[in-house]
Amino acid sequence: MPVSMRNSQIIFDALRKADVRIISALPETWLVHLIRMAEENPDTTLVRLAKEEEGVGISAGAHLAGVKSAMLMQNHGFLAAINGIVSLAQLYKIPLVMLISHRGDIGERDPWQCQGGLATLPVLRALNIPHFPLDDPAQVERKILGAQCLAESALTPVGLLLTRELMWEEA
Amino acid sequence: MNRIEALEAIYADIQDCVVVTIMGAVAAELYSLGHRPNFFYLEHAMGLASSMGLGISLSRPELPVVVLDGDGSALMNLGTFTTLARYAPPNLTHIIFDNGSLLSVGGFPTATSTGSDLAGIARAAGVQSAVTIDEPKMLRDSVAEATAADRLTCIVAKVEPIGPKSFHMDISLLENRFQFRRHLMGSAVSTPGGQQ
C-alpha cells in the first residue's frame, strides 16, 4: 500500500511535539500508518470511534480536562461530524485540531470520493473554520504546531488537510 | 418516579464528581438543586454528552465522572455504546434518564416507548454492567455500587415525562464552560471529596 510511511511518521512526530495525548480516529486508507503509530506509542491514547462526531465530544472533554488531543478522519467523516463541530466545538469555543484526509481532490481515482472532495473546502469556508493544506513534509511540523496554537488562541476548530501529495507515494 | 426525585436522591453522592448533563430538563433540574463548578451542561449537540464524559474520564482517570444522559440523546448516538464499552473507563458512570419522550420539543415518543431497551443495547454493545431501575433509592444504590465497584456502569433510570416549568438557567453557556475547565485544571491532583 503506497501510503507514505515516512510522511506519516513526520505527522505523528509533530503531534507528539504538540503534546497531543489523545487521538481519536476512524480508519481510512491514508491514515493506516498514523493510526498504528498512535496505537503503539505508549504516550498516546488511541480512541477508535464508531462515528467521527463522537471524536468532537471526546476532544471537547479532553480539552476541558486539560489534555491536548487531535482527530484523524477522512473528509467524509468531517462531513458526518458537522453538528458536533457546530453545536459543541464552535458553540462552546472548544479548540479542535482536525487532521482531515482530503479525498476526492486532484489525482483521485475513486469516483465515490469525489462529491465529498468537492464539498470539503466550501463547507470549511462556510463554517469559518481556518484550514491549511499539509502538502510539504518540510512544513508539516510548523503547520501542526501553528494550527494547534491558533486553535487554542482563537478557541476554534482548525482543519489540517492531508493531501495526496503528502500521503500517497505512487508505486 | 419523577426525574427531579431521582436527581435529589443522588445529588449528595454526585456533587463532588465531574458531571456532564444533556440539554433541557435534565440540565435545568440539576441546576435547580444547586450549581457547582464541576457541573457542565451540554445545551446542544444531542448525543455527545456521553462522548464528552469518555474524553474527560480517559484524560483524568483520577476523577469520578458522571454523565446524565437522556433516551432521546442516547438514541442519537447509539454507536458510542460500543466505544464506551471498548475503553470502559472505570471512573465513568453513565446514567440515562429514560422518559420515552422527546419532552423538550413537544413530548413526541422515542423508540424506548415502543420497546427499545437501552440497558440491553448497552450490554449487547459490551458494557459489562448495565441496569434498569425505576425508584430513587434503587438509583442511589446503583450509583453507589458503580462508584464502589470502580467499573464503567450504565444505569437506565425510568422516569415520568415531566419536566420543570421553565428551562431557564442563570448561567451562560460560556460562563459554565470556562468555570468548568478552570475547576478541572485546578483539581489536577485530587478533587474535593473525590478519589485520589
Q: pLDDT (tens digit, 9 = 90+) per residue, B136-164?
A: 999 999 999 998 899 999 999 999 999 99
Q: What gap in Å lies between CA A8 and CA A18, rounded to an integer?
A: 15
Q: Is the pLDDT of residue B55 over 50?
A: yes
B105: closest CA among B48, B23, B171? B23
Q: What is the pTM of this model?
A: 0.95
Q: What gap in Å lies between CA A72 and CA A87, rounded to an integer?
A: 20
Contacts of A60 in chain B (CB under 8 A): 48, 51-52, 55
Q: What gap in Å lies between CA A70 and CA A18, rounded to an integer?
A: 10
- Nearest Cα of chain B lies from the Cα of A49 at a distance, in angstroms, of 6
The per-residue pLDDT for B15 is: 97
State which residue of chain A sits closest to B178, comparing Cα positions. Answer: A64
Q: CB contact, 8 Å: A91 with chain B? A: yes
Q: What is the mean pLDDT of chain B?
A: 94
Q: What gap in Å lies between CA A59 and CA A72, rounded to an integer?
A: 11
Identify whether B45 is part of a domain.
Answer: yes
Q: How confident is the model at residue B193 (pLDDT cuts 50, 70, 90)?
A: very low
Look-up: residue for cell 457542565? B40
Neighbouring C-alpha atoms within 13 Å toward the C-beta of B40:
31
Helix (H) or strand (E) holding B70: strand B65-70
Q: Find the farthest-apart pair of alpha carbons in chain B and give their distance in angstroms, rounded.
A: 45
User: What is the ipTM for the molecules in this complex?
Assistant: 0.97
Mean pLDDT of B25-37: 97
Mean pLDDT of B16-38: 97
Q: What gap in Å lies between CA A22 and CA A64, rounded to an integer?
A: 13
The per-residue pLDDT for B192 is: 44
Number of domains in chain B: 1
Q: What gap in Å lies between CA B192 and CA B196, rounded to an integer?
A: 9
B39: closest CA among B22, B59, B57, B51? B22
What stretches in chain A show pLDDT beneath 70? 1, 171
Q: Tens digit of pLDDT for each residue in A63-97?
A: 999 999 999 999 999 999 999 999 999 999 999 99
Q: What gap in Å lies between CA B52 and CA B105, rounded to an integer?
A: 23
Q: Is the pLDDT of residue B190 over 60?
A: no
Identify whether B194 is part of a domain.
Answer: no
Cβ distance of A62 and B83 shorter than 8 Å: no
Identify whether B193 is part of a domain.
Answer: no
Q: How confident is the model at residue B120 (pLDDT cuts 50, 70, 90)?
A: very high
Any long-range contacts for B81-84 (C-beta under 8 Å, 24+ apart)? B81/B121, B81/B122, B81/B125, B81/B126, B81/B127, B81/B154, B82/A50, B82/B125, B82/B126, B83/A47, B83/A48, B83/A49, B83/A50, B83/A54, B83/B51, B83/B54, B84/B50, B84/B54, B84/B122, B84/B125, B84/B127, B84/B152, B84/B154
Q: What domain range is B76 assigned to? A: 3-182
Residue B109: which CATH number? 3.40.50.970
Helix (H) or strand (E) holding B87: helix B80-87
Cβ–Cβ under 8 Å, residues A147 and A127: no
Identify whether B99 is part of a domain.
Answer: yes
The per-residue pLDDT for A1 is: 66
State which residue of chain A sits closest to B63, comparing Cα positions. Answer: A65
Q: What gap in Å lies between CA A96 and CA B71, rounded to an integer?
A: 28
Identify whether B187 is part of a domain.
Answer: no
Sign of CA dihedral B94, B95, B98, B104: negative
The per-residue pLDDT for A171 is: 63
The per-residue pLDDT for B194 is: 40
Q: Is the pLDDT of residue B189 over 70?
A: no
Q: Which residues of B49-83 are buried (b: 16+ CB within 10 A; e: fewer)?
A: bbbbbbbbbbbbeebbbbbbbbbbbbbbbbebbbb
Q: What gap in Å lies between CA B90 and CA B68, rounded to an integer?
A: 16
Q: What gap in Å lies between CA A13 and CA B184, rounded to an integer?
A: 28
3-state secondary structure at position B110:
coil
Chosen from A22, A54, A90 to mutate, greatest number of chain B CBs within 10 A: A54
